[in-house]
Amino acid sequence: MVSPPPQRHLFVVFGATGDLMQRKILPVLFQLRASGKMPEGSLVLGVARRPIDDATFRALARSSLESAKVADAARVQAFCDASLFYQSVPDETAPSFAALRARIEAIEREHGLPGNRIFYLALPLDAFAPTLTGLGVAGLHTAPGWTRVVIEKPFGRDLASAEALNRLVHQYFDEKQVYRIDHYLGKETVQDLLVFRFANMFIESLWSRERIDEVEITVAESLGVEARAQYYESAGALRDMIQNHATQILTLVAMEPPATRDEDSIRNEKVKVLQSVVRIAPGDVVRAQYTAGKLSGASVAGYRQEPGVAAQSDTETFVALRLKIANWRWQDVPFFLRTGKRLPAKATRVVLTFKAPPVSFFQTSEEYEANPDRISILIQPDEGFELAFEVKVPGRELRVQTHRMVFHYRDVFGELPDGYETLLVDVMLGDPTLFVRADEVEESWRLYEPLLRSPPRLSFYPAGSWGPAEAESLVREWGHRWYTE
């Protein structure tokens, strides 16, 4: 079924002079306008504290877009001049938000917009509450058309703060107006998990404890903390990656078939997965921090030597954990999740390892040790799917090798859209399927709350390695090993 096109609207970005807007959101909005996915006549209003005017904001945006090489200078100039506006909101007081409302209404009158509004909060966590309150007090939670609010992660920093933020959001906005964005859910491979599983009967018939021995989810980064030390020191890998990105992938891998394709049916099944996870014991978790090492032949500093990091910081840059899901499909199948900075490669993938045959004469061969079959879901950097299986090497001698059948999206469809591009189109269309619902974010925080209150002791690993020895022991204790090929 073809979706109706998005309606004309005003796209309001709080934090418009910040890094996320200039590096990610602005280039995506340009591409959406250029491709016709953002309706002609829709406009962008940047909001931030800086006391600048439209012309200065357009110059800043033009510089960012030219640096991103999205198009030639003339097209960039035309977009900025025709589509971008700016309003300073120097504080969270009622007069500042009243002035914002007046500016929004003036732009809509002048350009004949129907009163449809998207408020994108590209802000730090501590700015969400006063901004949402300011919108509500100014009456900007309602409009002549529709109103939608997009909230970046992190949505809270623990269960209590997430619940409080949800209460505040719902004081002014209905849940159907709220889009809690996680850019990982915009990646094609993550979205295609539903098609891969539920449109291919032979895949779905294998997707359970009868055939699957273990599931591994890896979100690896080769970068260090970079310029995010202030944020990262208060967050750490558990909050920054596991609670949202890795857990979102977990729910899509483990969910049951939804009754229908509508957004609530899909999100209901994701919540059921979180509710079925067995409480994670401290002994099922490894926290670690990178020390000095080598990456791609170059020496790199340890986390505690990074600018802005405390000399005795206890913040983890690596987490590995094992968990089980107590339901009929996954009972006794271990799920291993790990994420880390300064690992050997940037890679996000899901690996499902099949059980070995119950009886196999290959397992008794001195020349050959049977390798299990695997399905790998490659989320980044090379989106696609991979099936690893055993084949006989031609010749009289019985020699067996593991070979792979690989599907990469780029080989068939070319370059894929950015995750933000997919998600922003969904916001414009009013489709919340790929966004996190209130109960889902709370269940996710509830799952990790005990680990946040009583974090396991900190281990260490050299930059350029796949993590500490304790992470290897974590999977070996259950008879498994991390997949690192």
Residues 6+ apart with CB under 8 A from 83: 33, 42, 43, 44
Q: Cα–Cα distances in Å, from 341 out to 223, 302, 463?
A: 6, 11, 8
Residue 485 confidence (pLDDT): 67
Residue 1 confidence (pLDDT): 45
Residue 367 confidence (pLDDT): 55
pLDDT tens, 413-429?
887 777 888 899 999 99
CA angle at 426 for the pair 97 and 237, rounded to the nearest 5°: 80
**What letter does residue 222 receive in the DSSP assignment?**
S
Adjacent-strand bridge partners of 387: 375, 405
β-bridge pairing 347-354 and 285-291: unpaired
Residue 88 confidence (pLDDT): 96
* Cα–Cα distance for residue pair 301/342, rounded to 1 Å: 10
* Cα–Cα distance for residue pair 309/302, rounded to 1 Å: 10
Residue 4 confidence (pLDDT): 73
CA angle at 59 for the pair 54 and 65, rounded to the nearest 5°: 120
Strands (E), 58-184: 84-88, 117-121, 147-151, 178-180
pLDDT tens, 71-89?
888 899 999 999 999 999 9
pLDDT tens, 295-320?
988 999 999 999 999 999 999 999 99
Structural domains in the chain, CATH included, are 10-152 (3.40.50.720), 185-476 (3.30.360.10)
Element (H, E) at 385: strand 384-392
Residue 199 confidence (pLDDT): 86
99-113, 145-159, 319-333, 384-398: least confidently modelled range: 384-398
The catalytic residues are: 245
Nearest to 157 by CA among 94, 83, 239: 239
Mean per-residue pLDDT over the chain, rounded = 90
Q: How confident is the model at residue 42 (pLDDT cuts 50, 70, 90)?
A: very high
Q: Tell me the mean pLDDT in the region 429-446.
A: 93
